[in-house]
Structure formats: C-alpha cells, structure tokens
C-alpha cells in the first residue's frame, strides 16, 4: 500500500504549475509551497504538471527545480518528480558508473519491480542513455557478482501464481546440494534464483526450509562479510519479501552514523506510491519505532518535511 496522500480534488496541473512558478520567484524559494504541491501528487499528476509547466513557461520544471533547490532536498524532489520508469533508469545508470557504482541499487531494481515495470525501466534506459541496461551492468561488473546481476536484470520473469510442486522439491534439493557443497556461485543455483517466477521460487524455498531445517538465507550466511553472498541473500529477500528488504535498507540508512541519505531518499521516493505503508509496518516490527518518527529524528529542514509528506505523515 502506498503512503502518498493525494487530495480528493487537487488543483489542475496548470494551477499547480503556476503555484510552483510562484514558489521560485521573488526573494528566496518558497520550499513549503513546493512540498505542499509535489508531496501530494501521484505519478500521472506530476507528469501533467511537468507538461503544463513546459507549455506555459517554455522551460523544464526539472531544470528550474535543479536551480532553486539544493543538497538532499533537491535530490529527493528531483527523483520523486520523475516518472517511475525514468527514475529507475536514472538510478540504475548512476549505479553502473565508476564513481557512483552500487550493485545494491541494481539488485534492488532488478528484483523488486514487476516484470513490466522492469521492462519499462529498461526502455526508459535505452531512450535516455542510448544503450541497454544489460550491457552496462555486464560491462561494469565481473566474476560472481556479474553472474548473478546480469540474469537478474535480464530475465522477463513469469508472474503467474501457478506452482509446480514436483519441480519445487527437486530444485530445493539442488539448492541444498550446492549450498552444502559451498558452491554458492553454481550455475544451477543462479539459474533457479534468476529465472523462476516468484511464486515458484517461494514454493521451492519453503520446501527447502521444511526439508532441510534452515531458511536458505541462514545457510547462505557462512561468511557474513562476503560481498557476493550478501547480494545473493538480498536477492532472495527482494524476491520473496520485498517489504522486509526495504525495511532493512531503511534501518541501516537511519542507524548509520550520519544517516545514509542516498538510500533513505531512494527507498522513500521509489516506494511511496507502491508499498511504503507495508515497509513501515515491517520497519516498526523490527525496530519498535514508527518509520515516520525514525525519519523525523534523523533528518531536518525541507528534506525532512518532504520525506514525511511522501511517507504520509504531516506535521
């Protein structure tokens, strides 16, 4: 469930774009006005506002926001205003670049989006960067991490609920065999995780637990610091329980000395219209603090106000 709150009768996109223009004019920027508008419009509405702004003023709203805002507040507003597919394309591209490389972001986008949303992100990637996400991920990774990430971003996964129990049992056995033998980069293990539907994979992992005693991620924790194993466990969590995965990313971001704004911004901006409500529930279950209070305690100013607006929590 989304946390974003949209008024029942919002102003027209033209009115919104006029208000935004006003917020930029005069002495200093009116951040509160920007937050009150953009923090309460869904993806379709934001797109229409961008279009209305462009028609009325002949300028790109994104560029004007870029000029007016700064630091963390700027980043969250700019990410938020993008269409979800464009935003994923932008984040994924950033994550394949040398200076900002981040395999976690690639893993997260590849494993938590629906097949259609991942496809749209790949199309947006091609339109914007004139190359494919697959080639960039393959080029910028290597070794076991490449073996895992490339099929994760490539597969157009089946999304039906059908489960083949015979297959689930036989593949649970395959997984257990490989993990017992510590061949974590085995190609069958990677094949199962990267190509099976979420429903089929869940059946396989449930059978794994029933039959062999441990949750698979427990068996994959032999070396807690190994980067490949960390990604492997995260992929499994993303595919089978994404809300719990996101709650953990938020926990690590917030508990970090000095807050990881990059991760906090990403999760709030990408999930506010999807499942941030459920993510918040998982967060509270694990941390005994409501997510919005944790965010409020760890951030400040306009950045804080905007995150809280997206998280559905008004002052």
* Sequence ranges of the binding site: 24, 26, 28, 68, 254, 256, 258, 296, 298-299
Identify whether the C-beta of residue 42 lies closer than 8 Å to the C-beta of residue 24.
no
Position among 15, 156, 252, 301 found at the interface with its own copies (CB under 8 A) = 156
Position among 26, 27, 99, 130 found at the interface with its own copies (CB under 8 A) = 130
Minimum separation from the CB atom of position 192 to its own copies (A):
8
169: contact with its own copies by CB under 8 A: no
Q: Please enumerate, by residue number, every residue annotated as part of a binding site for Ca(2+).
A: 24, 26, 28, 68, 254, 256, 258, 296, 298-299
Rounded (5°) CA angle 142-197-97:
30
Residue 42's CB is within 10 A of a number of other CB atoms, namely: 14
**Residue appearing with tokens 């949750």:** 215
Tell me whether residue 171 or residue 292 sits nearer to its own copies (CB atom): 171
- Under rule CB under 8 A, how many of the chain's residues touch its own copies? 31
Choices 90-98, 102-110, 143-151, 288-296; region in contact with its own copies by CB under 8 A: 143-151
55, burial (CB in 10 Å: exposed 0-12, middle 13-18, buried 19+): exposed
Using CB under 8 A, which residues numbered 192 to 211 contact its own copies?
194-197, 200
Tell me whether residue 108 or residue 171 sits nearer to its own copies (CB atom): 171
166: contact with its own copies by CB under 8 A: no
Tell me whether residue 76 or residue 137 sits nearer to its own copies (CB atom): 137
Identify whether the C-beta of residue 150 lies closer than 8 Å to the C-beta of residue 141.
yes
Sign of CA dihedral 80, 82, 88, 94: negative
Identify whether the C-beta of residue 79 lies closer than 8 Å to the C-beta of residue 90.
yes
Exposure letters 127-143 (e unless 16+ CB within 10 A, then b): eeeeeebeebbbebbee
* Residues engaged in binding its own copies (CB under 8 A): 119, 122-123, 126, 130-135, 138-139, 146-147, 150-151, 154-160, 162, 187, 191, 194-197, 200
């Amino acid at each position: 469930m989304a946390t974003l709150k949209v008024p029942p009768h919002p102003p027209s996109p033209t009115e919104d774009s006029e208000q935004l223009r006003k917020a930029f004019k005069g002495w200093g920027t009116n951040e509160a006005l920007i937050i009150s508008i953009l923090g309460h419009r869904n993806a379709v509405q934001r797109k229409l506002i961008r279009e209305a702004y462009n028609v009325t003023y002949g300028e790109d709203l994104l560029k004007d926001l870029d000029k007016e805002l700064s630091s963390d507040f700027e980043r969250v507003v700019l990410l938020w205003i993008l269409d979800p597919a464009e935003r994923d394309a932008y984040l994924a591209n950033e994550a394949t670049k040398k200076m900002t490389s981040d395999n976690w972001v690639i893993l997260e986008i590849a494993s938590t989006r629906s097949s259609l949303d991942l496809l749209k992100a790949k199309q947006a990637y091609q339109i914007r960067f004139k190359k494919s996400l697959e080639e960039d991920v393959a080029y910028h990774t290597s070794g076991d991490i490449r073996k895992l990430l490339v099929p994760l971003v490539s597969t157009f996964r089946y999304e039906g609920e059908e489960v083949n129990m015979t297959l689930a049992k036989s593949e649970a056995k395959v997984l257990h065999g490989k993990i017992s033998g510590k061949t974590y980069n085995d190609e069958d293990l990677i094949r199962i995780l990267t190509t099976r539907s979420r429903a089929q994979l869940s059946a396989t992992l449930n059978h794994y637990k029933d039959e062999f005693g441990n949750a698979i991620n427990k068996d994959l924790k032999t070396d807690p610091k190994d980067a490949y194993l960390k990604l492997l466990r995260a992929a499994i969590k993303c595919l089978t329980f994404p809300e719990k995965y996101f709650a953990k990313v938020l926990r690590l971001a917030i508990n970090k000395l000095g807050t990881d704004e990059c991760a906090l911004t990403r999760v709030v901006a990408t999930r506010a219209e999807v499942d941030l409500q459920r993510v918040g529930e998982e967060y509270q279950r694990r941390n005994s603090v409501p997510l919005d209070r944790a965010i409020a305690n760890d951030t400040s100013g306009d950045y804080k106000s905007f995150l809280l607006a997206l998280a559905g929590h008004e002052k």
